[in-house]
Amino acid sequence: MSKKDKKSSKKSKKNAVKPVILLSFDGTIMDTEPAILATYRHIFAKYDKGNEFTKDAAMEVLDSSALAMMKKYFPEQDPKAMVAEYRAYQDYHLRDLIQPMKGVVDFLTWLKGSGYKVGIVSVKERSAVMDLLEHSNMAQLIDVVIGNAGAGTETLSSDSIITACAIMDAKFCVFIADSAVDMAAGREAGVLCIGYVHNRDKTPALLESHPDFMTASFREIRKLIENEPLWVAYPLTAEKIEDDSDD
């Protein structure tokens, strides 16, 4: 690359509109897996269903809302009461098991200091997400939190991504998540998708969801964002943002 081309490239990066950085919560920002699995093991055992908590069930609960799982596995119980029991056990016994993902605090701190708007979308209730962010001293690093982002289901809704982008007045968005279903929502929303690899068991499915990039390191994600403004290939159309806002 010539000196002229290098200068042009640097100028292009400097003048590029910053994208909104949107992340999923469980498995991306917060390592909640140990606490989630331990809580479900306790609940299943308490209600004499320990043999139903198979490896497949364990993978399912990691990508699903507590309410959806209680309805599925404990249909004879009040699902809201079961969710309350789930949270109470986790909060009282397992809060210290829930920790930020390695490197995510430094990454979020860099984003904030560099002027990026940062949001979270989660199928968890917003209050639960905020509680864990505050417990981990990360709440001040996040601009917007969209909870119940599955539109009443256990699967993240693409509309929640569009809603977050509309709230933050985004022209472009980089979406970071650790699961195939979240990647599908990101692709449907039409944003640049980065698959974050934390749980190796999820890697094949994540790969099949065709993220634009995959990595196990937030340092690599930072380098990606600092390099060429690849997100400009995924402009958010004004029509879709406005339509979603009107809803």
Residue 90 has pLDDT above 80, yes or no: yes
Cβ–Cβ < 8 Å for 89, 41? no
Q: pLDDT tier at 8 (50, 70, 90 boundaries)?
A: very low
**pLDDT for residue 195:** 95
218-235 average pLDDT score: 91
Instruction: Lowest mean pLDDT of 15-19, 52-56, 150-154, 239-243, name the range.
Output: 239-243
Strand boundaries in the chain, DSSP class E:
20-24, 30-31, 99-100, 118-121, 144-146, 173-177, 192-196, 213-215
Instruction: Select from 150, 153, 171, 148 the least CA-distant residue to 241.
Output: 171
Q: Are 44 and 53 in contact (CB under 8 A)?
A: yes
pLDDT at 51 over 60: yes
Band of the pLDDT at 2, cuts 50, 70, 90?
low
Distance CA 105, CA 219 (A): 11
Instruction: Decide if pLDDT at 22 tops 70.
Output: yes
What's the maximum distance between 2 C-alpha atoms anywhere in the chain? Answer: 71
**Average pLDDT over the chain, rounded to whole?**
86
CA distance 71 to 154: 11
Instruction: Tell me the average pLDDT across 16-37.
Output: 91
Q: What is the pTM of this model?
A: 0.79
User: Which has the minimum average pLDDT: 5-14, 54-63, 195-204?
Assistant: 5-14
pLDDT at 6 over 50: no
Q: Are strands 30-31 and 99-100 parallel, antiparallel or unpaired?
A: antiparallel
Pairwise pLDDT comparison (66 vs 70), residue with the higher score: 70
